Amino acid sequence: WLVIDRKVYDLSKFSKRHPGGSRVISHYAGQDATDAFVAFHSDKALVKKYLKALLIGELAPNQPSFESNKKKALLEDFRELRCSVEKMGLLSPNFSFFFLIFLHLLVLDAASWLVVWYFGISLVPFLLGMALFTTAQIQMGWFQHDLGHCSVFRRPKWNRVMQIVVISVLKGLPASWWNHLHNQHHAKPNCFRKDPDLNMHPLLFSLGKTLSVEV
């Protein structure tokens, strides 16, 4: 069960069919997921149609709709900031920008192979080709990141298709794997045992008082 806009939903069965993965929802079990719901779903009217069948009640009038470990004033400031950002159009994609990003990463990737093919594999051409290829791969990673967030095209379908082209065809990684981990990261950023980006401790790093104590 979780709370969205003070309404309580039972997502026990639906979580297994959730497009964003079951773990994203399970991380909010017994909690208020309003802000995460708003952040993850661009077409809220469509999603709320599915929520109607899962509604089981509402919070009592005296029951706060936020976690006890969160500050109400901070949540309200964040929501006000998000509304301002949306009204200013800062979340609207610039198609010319993304087209140039895609074009230049293709050029860099092709150039890396052409340098080695034309000049051979001596040290200088190899290092130049490696630099071009590495830069292209990094740019592909960030471009597919925006596609994975459905931030480039208006329709999620086209974002997904293009993400598969970039991360799977050009980089050789499964898009489903990246989405599964990254959705959890944004659902519970920097929350130990819920954010997969923190699962690399203690071999690589441990930052902050809480994480250090846990390690």
* pLDDT tens profile 119-169: 998 999 999 999 999 999 999 999 999 999 888 998 888 999 999 999 999
**Burial class of residue 98, CB neighbours in 10 A (0-12, 13-18, 19+):** middle
In 3D space, the residue among 38, 42, 27 whose CA is nearest the CA of residue 190 turns out to be 27
198 part of a folded domain: no
Same structural domain, 8 and 81:
yes
70 part of a folded domain: yes
What is the span of the domain harbouring residue 41? Answer: 2-88
Same structural domain, 166 and 103:
yes
Domain boundary among 57, 88, 119: 88
Single pTM value for the model: 0.78
Residues 6+ apart with CB under 8 A from 32: 2, 3, 4, 65, 66, 67
Measured distance CA(105)–CA(20) in Å, rounded: 28
What phi and psi, each to the nearest 5 degrees, are found at residue 2?
Answer: -150, 170
pLDDT tens digit sequence for 14-32: 988 888 888 888 888 888 8
Q: Are 73 and 26 in contact (CB under 8 A)?
A: no
Number of domains in the chain: 2
- Beta strand spans in 28-67 (E): 55-58
The CATH number linked to 33 is: 3.10.120.10
Q: For residue 149, what are its two tokens?
A: 């967030």
197 part of a folded domain: no
